A and B are shown apart, each in its own frame.
Chain A
Amino acid sequence: MASPECFPPPTRSINASPKSALLVENDKSLSSCFKIQLETEGYAVRSASNSEEGLRLFRDLNPFNVVLINYYIPPREGVGIDCLAPQIHGVQLAMAIRDIVPLQGIIIAALDYTSAAEVPRPPELMRVPLLIDNGNGELRRLLEKVEVSRAIEALTVSEKLKLRKFAELLVRRLGRAAGGEDWEDLLKEAFLRTWIGTESRHKGRHWNKKVDFVRHLTETMRSISNSWSRQRSSERDTYLVSELSIVDADGRENSPLDSVASKDAPADQDLIESDEMDEVVALFDQDLEAKQVLRGRLGGLTDREIKKKYRFDEKRYVAIMKRIRELLGHRAHA
């Protein structure tokens, strides 16, 4: 694991400060094209036309949100490219930058190849995004991925703990509807949808950079858990027609339509959910205060009403809430 000092600045600064990019491209027309695209995406761009200059600018001016390097970059000013020789300078520059900042977001532009599988590069750079085709907003998509990766690395210890605890409580809320899935599954699912959202604003869950990354993930988890809950609920309400048919004593089959669910909850459904609620409350059998708060909340009382009813002062109430979170989170994890 890289040391924390190597991490880029915290997530919040991504939203607050202007984004910056280092562009290392020798071809003037491509450089100009990339610069326009980066600026359109809100990056302040510094440009270099060879590997040596690129490294110098990086050393002098980092941090950058992203470094875009042409795979075919010449080593120094005035040195041409031998197209028949193996191209190593772009890769070497990327390695040198990763030596300085191990988690630096880098994109390598390899426009002369037709697929990422063809681009020779060392194992350390296998995960670096490659720009193979500069059409159809491909660079924008890669920039999104770099920003999301950067946001993960920038999460503080307490933010990660909050994400975990939040996920645990949502899974606990799901009860049986969680269907055996735990907090890791929920968080993973939320993040995958965010990753897929980098591909398209219409798919997955696109991260709006004006929203804090933690808030984005928690809202995504909430949305997923609601959808799991709905799915599970509809699964429980699904019956085969044969299951609904009733044959009376005279052998006559009654219409299944007679058995279609009414506006009222089916009795078994009601029992299941009542059981789940009792299970949650029963966790606090040894903690009367927590049980009182939980019963109050389940009964629709507000924080203020509960405090007034049971004469809890603020400090005591906070401590009780902490115990509730702790036990419910712990159970969800277990």
Chain B
Amino acid sequence: MPYKNNNNEHLAKVMNELADSVLGLSDETILAEVREAGVDPYEEAERTRSVLRDAVELLENVNRRLSDLGHTINSNYWQTRRGGYHNDCLNCGASVSFTTATGEMRGQALRAQCPASDQYTMYRREASRK
């Protein structure tokens, strides 16, 4: 930031400390806090787990779809922009992107088969492996 803003810094600091204080709570305290708010802690916990699982699903779905269409991406080159991930097929250059918030996937690579991919499925079995 080109300037110093005391208000903003203080607010950020306080909120950071509040967030940290959550980590220091005992298991009983956090469960009690959630119950007191009138919410089922087990449902809330399950929702958190779903959020984590959904994130993996999203990325793996994109990878699977790309693989089915013969595109090859280097997973080291996912470009992160706010709320979105972008990549390109190494063979044909078609782009792919998805957003974490909505799970929306888009891009040329998801619409068509990679023209540069090998169309012939290859199965091989080395004679030595018996």
Query: Digit string of A242-267 for contact with B (CB within 8 Å is 1, else 0)?
Result: 00000000000000000001111100
- 30 residue pairs of the A-B complex, CB under 8 angstroms, read A26-B129, A112-B124, A116-B64, A117-B68, A118-B123, A149-B56, A160-B48, A161-B30, A161-B31, A162-B23, A164-B44, A165-B22, A166-B22, A166-B23, A170-B16, A173-B15, A179-B82, A185-B101, A192-B59, A195-B59, A218-B23, A222-B16, A231-B82, A262-B3, A263-B3, A265-B4, A276-B8, A277-B7, A325-B21, A326-B33
Given A149-B56, A169-B19, A233 contacting B44 (CB threshold 8 A): no
CB-nearest residue of chain A relative to B19? A169
Assess whether A265 is in contact with B130, with CB atoms less than 8 Å apart: no
Residues of A within 8 A of B10 (CB): 277, 297-300
CB-nearest residue of chain B relative to A298? B10
A127 at the interface (CB under 8 A from B): yes
Partner of A161, one of B4, B45, B80, B85: B45
Assess whether B125 is in contact with A83, with CB atoms less than 8 Å apart: yes
Bound-state CA distance A267–B82 (Å) is: 27
Which of B34-42, B89-97, B104-112 is the contact stretch? B34-42
Assess whether B100 is in contact with A325, with CB atoms less than 8 Å apart: no
Bound-state CA distance A262–B52 (Å) is: 42
Apart from A114-B121, A300-B10, list 6 A-B contacts with CB within 8 A.
Answer: A72-B125, A179-B82, A184-B51, A188-B101, A191-B52, A326-B36
Interface residues of A in 88-120 (CB under 8 A from B): 112-118
Assess whether A196 is in contact with B75, with CB atoms less than 8 Å apart: yes
Partner of B121, one of A30, A118, A162: A118
Bound-state CA distance A12–B67 (Å) is: 35
Bound-state CA distance A326–B2 (Å) is: 34
Assess whether B3 is in contact with A261, with CB atoms less than 8 Å apart: yes
Which of A35-43, A57-65, A197-205, A307-315 is the contact stretch? A197-205
Bound-state CA distance A193–B100 (Å) is: 11
A1 at the interface (CB under 8 A from B): yes
Query: Digit string of B36-74 for contact with A (CB within 8 Å is 1, else 0)?
Result: 110001101111110111111011100010011000000
Partner of A165, one of B3, B8, B17, B30: B30
Residues of B within 8 A of A172 (CB): 15
Assess whether B82 is in contact with A228, with CB atoms less than 8 Å apart: yes
- Contact count band on A: 35 or more
CB-nearest residue of chain A relative to B50? A184
Interface residues of A in 1-40 (CB under 8 A from B): 1, 26-27, 30
CB-nearest residue of chain B relative to A212? B23
Assess whether A196 is in contact with B22, with CB atoms less than 8 Å apart: no
From A158, A172, A203, residue with most partner B Cβ within 10 Å = A158
Closest-CB distance, A26 to chain B (whole angstroms):
8
Per the CB 8 Å criterion, the residue count for chain B at the interface is 68
Residues of A within 8 A of B25 (CB): 158, 162
A305 at the interface (CB under 8 A from B): no
Query: Digit string of A289-324 for contact with B (CB within 8 Å is 1, else 0)?
Result: 000001001111000000000000000000001101
Given A173-B12, A237-B2, A298-B10, A187 contacting B51 (CB threshold 8 A): yes
Residues of B within 8 A of A200 (CB): 75-76
Closest-CB distance, A197 to chain B (whole angstroms):
10
Bound-state CA distance A158–B29 (Å) is: 9
CB-nearest residue of chain A relative to B36? A326
Closest-CB distance, A79 to chain B (whole angstroms):
10
A80 at the interface (CB under 8 A from B): yes
Residues of A within 8 A of B80 (CB): 193
Bound-state CA distance A263–B3 (Å) is: 5
Residues of A within 8 A of B55 (CB): 187-189, 191-192, 195
Assess whether B42 is in contact with A298, with CB atoms less than 8 Å apart: no
Interface residues of A in 157-187 (CB under 8 A from B): 157-158, 160-166, 169-170, 172-173, 175, 179, 181, 184-185, 187
Given A157-B45, A188-B54, A298-B11, A181 contacting B101 (CB threshold 8 A): yes
- The 5 A-B residue pairs with the shortest CB-CB distance in the complex, in nearest-first order: A173-B15, A160-B45, A158-B27, A160-B48, A169-B19
Given A160-B49, A203-B76, A325 contacting B22 (CB threshold 8 A): yes
Given A214-B23, A231-B82, A325 contacting B33 (CB threshold 8 A): yes
